[in-house]
A and B are shown apart, each in its own frame.
Chain A
């Protein structure tokens, strides 16, 4: 039934079971040539997604259903990478539609199935360690940042790292390892993490304290003096009843976190190098008129860090236009799907987990609006503008860092590459930007 495979693509051909249908159709027989296995290509499906979205926005249920039906026949969560990508997009659209077209029979509670699933699908620390290394999506940022941090804290006997990330300290073992090998001996290392984090995958089945405990253990085996702190972000006000969403929780906690980001609360010392690490973090801070994002930068600047590393996804996904978001995310999030396809089989569990997590992101980008839409990444270019406007100075990555990143990428699939764009290191897949890494210092940095 299937035509021959070529590479990774599987052309959709017409199975014999459909011939009967089509030739019986009451509209008359159509030219057979027109019905031969015409591929549904990416541009086509993208248009369909957009049309579906428009139909939803215009309350055109029938049209939405029709387009969804077409897409449903193309999509497959276990097909090739494009089919899988489409299936997650379709799912997000359906989710959105279900909120736009409610019925009395529905008992909708405001959280998605994915939220429920994500909440319950949490990993152990070792599983997470494997997860972040599946593709260099995260490790790229870790490597570039750690290298820049190492250079920035040279000469300091103590270093304090405030870690804002969604990957639960997976970045630090390699840094601790590198510090242990410092010729003049390792500095004392302190790592502080907030107790709150955006409600997104990957989720861990242990607390931050547990993570810290293990890190401390590891540091001890390397003779690195180590301390771990958690900033308690739980707000004193109780949860309001009703439409309490996870993103609302995070927002509240975040405000509480900000209030604690001061030298006194953080117990910063004068001979300490302060490092602020933002990995996949800033995109969760709203950049709208409230601009928590800018406020955050101001607060950080006030702490006088010797380096602030910012790593995030290189894509502008914060448009208020749904169709614009669909187009942009469709043309961006194909990357992890494509990358995973190159070396993992269709039924691989890790691959599907990873894809589901990207699906979670897609659902948030497409299915939500307002405060509940928390995935608001901005491209490296825009982020750089923002940092400069906030009076941060860029720290260029040196050749050593570039070399290390290249070595890292050599060990992954050959599609991964890297380039330098202005002051940023950008991870590329088949030439397309995926993740950017940058390093900054406040213009008015006071070294001790």
Chain B
């Protein structure tokens, strides 16, 4: 397959393009240096003749970019291609390179949020930009056998593998450490040491354990403390995907069944359906409440469902008469998958949802749906059935068990009442959220153009419905968050950002959150 050659979008920049040094933006980092073998000009001294190449990620990562025009064989390096071409006995004319190739090339990173995306920060070495892209934006395909570290660039992985496991410290309890300070700290508190000292005292031996047991361990071994030795409180009390926990083992069978139903707003009792009735009862407050009900569509679950899920479903079912306004047959045991996973961080129920992706919706759809629900009025408790025990556990029950999940099981009654956001809605129309988005909310006073939620610069007029549609269209078109950012005075960038100087925030192009 002929790989695309470089000029997918070649930009010739006569000024401000540069052979930026590979380390120019990485002042504070300690990653393995990119392999820029040649000396680069300092940033700020661009080579005006350099051709700035912007490759797509696919092209960039393509391994055989240099293709022989005669036989279409691909090579990783240009030199190799030239060597190969000689073997074709080309006529003299074709043997020479085109003069174009003599020109200096610099490459930008395809990731828009990256600092190297700017031509003035381009890297001069193709390998360098490849490695950069891999490391910063790429998937970490290379995993160290011995420890859990993952790397996106093969040479990084190799470099790590050389040192991993070569210098290891072994505690008497059998745990291995690659770092001395971790080893020392562990050893100081380890039971093995205590026992040893006790023995040493009784036998009155001279200290033989004075030196940390440095061992060159040839074979690979895990360096993490064995989880099995952890106190029962922790392992049971945490949402561990630990196959040793019996309760977890029962759940895998449930997971798949959950998946389709979880993502459907209207959870039918059949946990396998994913598309039925999705459009039906969504305009009712029922939906809103049910969105927060446990996603454990209890009616259809196998008996292995944890009692927590049963509990939630029981409550959700009991609520049905009161909240049902749309007479759909669909059940309130429908789901917002993430609610349970959100608020039941411990225990089996979380395990059920762990491998599932979010009920993925675009921002527009989410906002729209929220507004819809507002239109129908909400008298539903926001958090009913979320299983948040923080509201209403009685003291005696609190002390009953040591574990979060058990605690939740012990309190059916308060859960039924929910967290108490079930107030009569205050003017529960779509206008609340819409106004918010339109910037007309009384929260912020009469400044419609600058205080839009998403900086859409929308005018002060417009019916809610129309406004919402327009809003959503605008979202589809683009987000201008600078105006919105200004209204909150700072913190305009988003988390999950890539490498940046602290002073160099880019509010205009925040990295995509996801």
Contacts and interface: CB of A to CB of B under 8 A. Distances in A.
Nearest to A213: B194
Interface string B71-92: 0000000000000000000000
Given A28-B469, A122-B233, A35 B476 contact: yes
A221 interface: yes
B182 A331 contact: no
Interface string A64-81: 111111101111111111
B244 to A, nearest CB: 11
B338 A76 contact: yes
B370 interface: yes
Nearest to A217: B197
Contacts of A170: 185
The main secondary structure of chain B at its interface with chain A is loop
Interface residues of B, number: 161
Nearest to B238: A349
A295 interface: no
A443 interface: no
B346 A41 contact: no
Contacts of B199: none
B149 interface: yes
Given A6-B137, A35-B362, A430-B499, A80 B514 contact: yes
A289 interface: no
B394 interface: yes
A113 B423 CA distance: 22
Interface string A35-71: 1111111111111101100110011111111111110
A16 to B, nearest CB: 7
B364 A30 contact: yes
B492 A129 contact: no
Contact of A7 (B136, B234, B292, B428): B136
B507 A43 contact: yes
A21 B274 CA distance: 12
Interface in A185-242: 205, 211, 214-215, 217-218, 220-223
B362 A54 contact: no
B388 A113 contact: yes
A91 interface: yes
Chain A interface size range: 35 or more
A431 B233 contact: no
Contact of B514 (A20, A25, A30, A40): A40
Interface centre among A14, A28, A38, A415, by most chain B C-beta atoms within 10 angstroms, is A38
A162 interface: no
B119 interface: no
B65 to A, nearest CB: 20
A156 interface: no
Interface string B132-155: 000111110000000011100000
Interface stretch (B93-101, B297-305, B310-318, B396-404): B396-404
B421 A97 contact: yes
Given A1-B357, A62-B425, A81 B496 contact: yes
B359 A15 contact: yes
Contact of A106 (B239, B282, B345, B414): B414
B238 A331 contact: no
A24 B150 CA distance: 45
B23 interface: no
A80 B358 CA distance: 10
Contacts of A40: 362-363, 366, 513-514
A85 B514 CA distance: 12
A126 B274 CA distance: 46
A429 B255 CA distance: 36
B493 interface: yes
Interface stretch (B26-34, B41-49, B323-331): B26-34
B373 A77 contact: no
Given A12-B358, A43-B481, A132 B185 contact: yes
Interface in A107-143: 107-109, 111-114, 116-117, 120-130, 132-133, 139, 142-143
A105 B412 CA distance: 13
A261 B339 CA distance: 48
A66 to B, nearest CB: 4
B391 to A, nearest CB: 5
A62 B28 contact: no
Interface stretch (A275-283, A338-346, A369-377, A387-395): A338-346
Given A76-B342, A130-B186, A34 B475 contact: yes
A105 B417 contact: yes
A87 interface: yes
Contact of B342 (A75, A109, A331, A417): A75
Given A28-B469, A76-B358, A221-B209, A94 B488 contact: no
Contacts of A76: 338, 341-342, 358
A101 B238 contact: no
Nearest to A95: B390
A36 B475 CA distance: 10
B358 A27 contact: no
Contacts of B418: 105
B491 A73 contact: no
A90 interface: yes
Given A11-B512, A116-B407, A121-B233, A61 B336 contact: no
B332 interface: no
B473 interface: yes
Contacts of B350: 77-78
A309 B150 CA distance: 35
B502 A431 contact: yes
A356 interface: yes
A139 B292 CA distance: 40
Contacts of A20: 275, 278-279
B378 to A, nearest CB: 6
Contact of A109 (B135, B388, B395, B427): B395
B502 A432 contact: yes
Interface in B121-176: 135-139, 148-150, 173
B196 to A, nearest CB: 8
Contact of B512 (A26, A39, A132, A324): A39
Interface stretch (B1-9, B10-18, B259-267): B259-267
A430 B227 CA distance: 30
A21 B265 contact: yes
B249 to A, nearest CB: 14
Nearest to B192: A126
B422 A103 contact: yes
B69 interface: no
A315 B464 CA distance: 40
Interface string A416-435: 11110000000010111100
A128 B231 CA distance: 11
Nearest to B403: A120
A31 B260 CA distance: 26
28 contacts: A6-B138, A35-B472, A40-B362, A43-B481, A44-B479, A48-B453, A62-B426, A67-B433, A73-B359, A74-B358, A79-B357, A82-B495, A82-B514, A103-B422, A114-B390, A121-B234, A121-B238, A126-B186, A126-B191, A129-B189, A132-B185, A139-B181, A323-B488, A331-B493, A347-B240, A347-B241, A353-B234, A414-B30
Given A39-B513, A349-B235, A419-B28, 7 more contacts: A26-B283, A40-B363, A42-B495, A42-B512, A111-B390, A117-B346, A215-B189
User: Top 3 nearest A-B pairs by Cβ distance?
Assistant: A42-B494, A34-B476, A334-B495
